[in-house]
Amino acid sequence: MIGAFVIFCAFMGVNGVIDPKTIRGVQIKNKGNERLWIEMTDEDSFVLPPGQLASVILDFTWSGTISARPEDCQHKKCNSPTTIARLAFGGEKGEDRYHISIADGFNRPMKIQPTGHNNFCKPTACNANINQHCPASHQVKDDDAVVACRSNPELFQKLCPQAVASEGDLKTNTIVCRTSNTYFVSIG
């Protein structure tokens, strides 16, 4: 898929149909071992198999979230909390802002990595599997397996210090980037 994304971008840029300065690319990788239902703000949701990569082209002013649930959530109501990648493109002075949010809860590890040859921006992540450390009172279970952990700012900040676990983390854990037009989001 990466090749198709690069070819598409090169073709569109050469033919003048899309100015590369007006788009952002997001590549989403499922690093887990189950099929995921990927949800994005103002975009169609889709299934992402284990080990697979999806490329999405977005407007340079897109602002929204990316989250993942088990594949069966496309057919049934799933109310468990999710780990969220929050990105806002083209803000003040053309700056992008991004962070991993676990303020409302956690369901799987996630990372945002800016990409590109002139990239000086930092990645941010929640790499810990908080579900393994979640207190019983905060666990969300499916068939006796912990599938998510309800908000627990103190525990979350300890296990994922780069993520936004409460409103107080927004200022320190939101990354500002001026040099990337593509982002890699890994889930699981």
For the segment 87-103, the average pLDDT, to the nearest whole number, is 92
How would residue 18 be classed by pLDDT, with cut points 50, 70 and 90? low
pLDDT at 12 (0 to 100): 44
For the segment 109-120, the average pLDDT, to the nearest whole number, is 85
In this predicted structure, the answer to whether residue 13 has a pLDDT above a threshold of 60 is no
pLDDT at 79 (0 to 100): 84
What is the Cα–Cα distance from 132 to 129, expressed in whole angstroms? Answer: 6
How would residue 15 be classed by pLDDT, with cut points 50, 70 and 90? very low
pTM of the shown model: 0.86
pLDDT digits (tens, 9 = 90+) for 66-85: 999 999 887 777 889 999 99
Structural domain containing residue 125: 2-187
Q: What does each C-alpha distance from 67 to 64, 74, 98, 144, 179 come to in angstroms?
A: 10, 13, 14, 23, 24
Residue 184's contacts (CB-CB under 8 Å, 6 or more residues apart) are 26, 27, 29, 111, 112, 113, 114, 115
How would residue 4 be classed by pLDDT, with cut points 50, 70 and 90? very low
Q: How many domains does the chain have?
A: 1
pLDDT at 17 (0 to 100): 58
Q: What is the CATH number of the domain that holds 113?
A: 2.60.110.10
